[in-house]
Amino acid sequence: MNGLGAVLEMTDRVQAAIAAGDWQAARDLEAMRRGLLEQWLARVGLADSGVVAALTDLERRTRHMDGEVQHHRRRILREVQTVKTGRAAAAAYGADPEQPDSAIS
């Protein structure tokens, strides 16, 4: 597989890991992808217009992956906040002993 093919295949693997929520694998694969990209660019340079087009496509895909990661991050932070709020409410509810309602008696 040529250098660009390896970079594109690794990009697909990073995207799949993100879609699966496997953040550790996505991080590790992204590091490998960057290394492959650097090696490929060192070999071919930027003189070829095909290289520039490929880099433009990779940049688009990278921005999309970054956006997807940020979306998941915001979702997780919202869920954490919901859990914190629920725990605080449960603690507050449990802390006040039930008082007889003097207006009803």
**Which residues are CB-contacts of 51 (< 8 A; sequence separation ≥ 6)?**
41, 44, 45
SS3 97: coil
pLDDT (0 to 100) of residue 97: 60
CB atoms within 10 A of CB 24: 8
pLDDT value of residue 105: 46
Write down the pLDDT at residue 65: 92
Domain ranges of the chain: 3-90
Low-confidence ranges of the chain (pLDDT < 50): 102, 105
Tokens linked to 34: 């960057």
Average pLDDT over the chain, rounded to whole?
A: 86
Query: Cβ(16)–Cβ(61) under 8 Å?
Result: no
Residue 99 has a pLDDT of: 54
Tokens of 70: 């940020």
SS3 content of the chain, % helix, strand, coil (to 5): 85, 0, 15
